[in-house]
Structure 1
């Protein structure tokens, strides 16, 4: 991507400019897993809808509602609840690691650079909530679902991109990822504050004490999955018993992992553990949750009701209209008042497409639907149908916008990835710097060593390295 020109341009920061090479490499690795996970998520959602709307719907409901677990520990849960409260904790654990990394080494580490995605994300959460409240209040609906259309599902969004076959430039993908990370933080706070009831202070104190032990052992360098997995299960159980949603435990533990690299290390504990856990989250936890959460009965009458009932109309409009307008105008206003100049290779239409993609709310939106309307099965299913409808419409709208610029994106991506000298470094990073490859040699050697190290851990060659350090 071309840099800005002229003295005036040099005094201004660039919005959606070219990423540093190390950040671009990390982004490519992370999004590769998320894209595969998003495709699995799409498949799981479609399968859930098929099972819930065919002759096997009774069997599907029986499996979903089957209870198991120790009653004495208040863990006699349904299969759907185990997926929601248990497996989804893995997803939030990875979200916590992502947030920690963004704060320490990513887009959020510099307050000036972080202003744009943070303002965009906050506006992208506030506007959908306001639209939901307005639609529900106007029709005399239930206001408890105000947070349903606030979240962006990065895996689902990237899965849509994979299906559409659209190759976005890395800066646009990074912006979408950062938006999703801030969204996840907002969702975590909302779930903990507004959708937790009947707090047990004793169990909560026990969970906090467990987290303190987790942090102490981690920062003292204690290693071994056999230490941390049992401790994590105890923390999760106490958090679940406390009345605070159990997924908060996953976020808290993710935030406690160290993202810095100490002398003698090839990768930080957070990077090493994320490398191991992310495939479990994207490939198992989220698709299984979707399999049991997205299975709602859909008929012509039910789809019509989505656009007539105030709560469901608020969800659809919040995702499709609120999310798009909130993210877009948040980005525009932040760029305007921080005097950030949009990358000259892109246009504001590209930001609008990303804003529309942010309207694909799935995993967290379905979770909040269950929490907001707990005990009201009909309204829960209707709000889930609204989430699916709003997300589908947002995906179609974003797909149209992206297809209009496909040729431009393809040329930008080819320029980013061109490596005519075959040294493993895109040529765009070497322009005007003939000694660049010499300075990057150590970085790539370290990266290769890190991958070898992670491969050994993944294969179980050194079981002690599976835990935090």
Structure 2
């Protein structure tokens, strides 16, 4: 089996380092921590027809809505190649079982969230069922970090885990944006995004073919048109009221790419020179810094914020999602005949299900939109960080069920 590039491990370590520094800073000096991450760098006096609420640039929203768009672009590229390219991990019937596992995990997580919220009072001002998108996402890099220790770098179970967690994060953020738009949906602005995609395709990407001239080759394989289109696409998504982290995703399908997939984050992709892979390679080093900054600005945990909301988060991620992943995968196998990937055993699926209970990046992005701020959001953030302990549970489970 193919090997996953080591930079994914570096991403996970950078994210954990950011969380650790943020938690230490918050514990020692809460006031200075919040002053730093919420510091208003600039005020944007935009007209009402452009933005219904005053906008301010702060480290938190620059990282969450701006820089994290680069990370979502990076992982969306892998998901798109798995779906679209020859030998992709999700082509044909290969995608049935991962899709069933993802949908089952969503159903399980949301059901447990709703039941937990109905049984335990969280906040009086919160409507029933609020916050249900929080447990939809997983954590690609941290799940990979623990999964690699359990399965090894080339094990097919690790690749199934990456498929499920990437799909969880991207689809979960889309659902969040539609269910809890930041300032009301203004979908007409998506016309700006569509225009950027159209110009990138018809003006440049469409020229990429085997018989193109040298002039067309330079035009189709230049990177600057896709960078400019990315800025315009991101602006359209933000003005439409959707999470800025989704802003670059519409461009992924139109950027010229390789003819066949080599696997998720495969080391072989480092030798490809198509525009999509070149853009991904340019992002590798900056993304380690982006994930550190994300952990720093969004990972500060108030260790005394424990409340019923913390329990709801943990129940949804530790009980609802793993059970849903298992039942969803079994239903896909039994009802529709989808098989486990070659080399993946049922005991591996159990470990994968437990690992999907680790939720941080996209669930943290959901906090501001899906939950009221203050104590409830801090309690949910504590639950998300505690959910990372599912990695230890998966490690122990893997050792217990290992065949003798």
TM range (shorter): 0.7 to 0.9
How many matched pairs?
367
Q: How many Å apart are 1:226 and its aligned residue?
A: 3.6
Q: Distance in 1 between matches of 2:325 and 2:387?
A: 16
Q: What aligned pairs does 1:150-299 form with structure 2 within 5 A after superposition? A: 150-161=136-147, 164=149, 167=152, 169-196=154-181, 197-221=183-207, 222=219, 223-261=221-259, 267-281=273-287, 283-299=288-304
- The aligned residue for residue 462 of structure 1 is none
Q: What aligned pairs does 1:10-89 form with structure 2 within 5 A after superposition? A: 24-25=1-2, 28-30=3-5, 32-54=6-28, 56-69=29-42, 71-73=44-46, 76-89=56-69
CA contact (8 A) 1:153 1:361 kept: yes
Structure (1 or 2) with the larger CA radius of gyration: 1
Which consecutive unaligned segments of at least 5 residues does structure 1 have?
1-23, 409-469
CA contact (8 A) 2:144 2:161 kept: no
Q: How many Å apart are 1:274 and its aligned residue?
A: 1.9
CA contact (8 A) 1:83 1:285 kept: yes
Q: Per-residue displacement from partner, 1:425-445 (whole Å, max 9, x unpaired)? A: xxxxxxxxxxxxxxxxxxxxx
CA contact (8 A) 2:26 2:302 kept: yes
Which consecutive unaligned segments of at least 5 residues does structure 2 have?
47-53, 208-218, 261-270
CA contact (8 A) 1:48 1:290 kept: yes
Q: What aligned pairs does 1:99-110 form with structure 2 within 5 A after superposition? A: 99-105=79-85, 106-110=88-92
Q: Distance in 2 between matches of 1:266 and 1:367?
A: 32
- The aligned residue for residue 431 of structure 1 is none
Q: How many Å apart are 1:178 and its aligned residue?
A: 1.0
Q: Distance in 1 between matches of 2:188 and 2:334?
A: 49
- CA RMSD across the alignment: 2.6
Q: Distance in 2 between matches of 1:362 and 1:277?
A: 21
- The aligned residue for residue 398 of structure 1 is 394
Q: How many Å apart are 1:210 and its aligned residue?
A: 2.4
Q: Per-residue displacement from partner, 1:266-305 (whole Å, max 9, x unpaired)? A: 5433223222224433x12222112110113112xx33x2
Q: Per-residue displacement from partner, 1:25-65 (whole Å, max 9, x unpaired)? A: 3xx244x22122112111211121111111x3332221101
Provide TM-score, normalisation by structure 1.
Answer: 0.72
Q: Distance in 1 between matches of 2:62 and 2:341?
A: 45
- The aligned residue for residue 70 of structure 2 is 90
Q: Distance in 1 between matches of 2:341 and 2:90?
A: 19
The runs of 4+ residues in structure 1 deviating greater than 6 Å are: none
Q: Distance in 1 between matches of 2:116 and 2:293?
A: 32
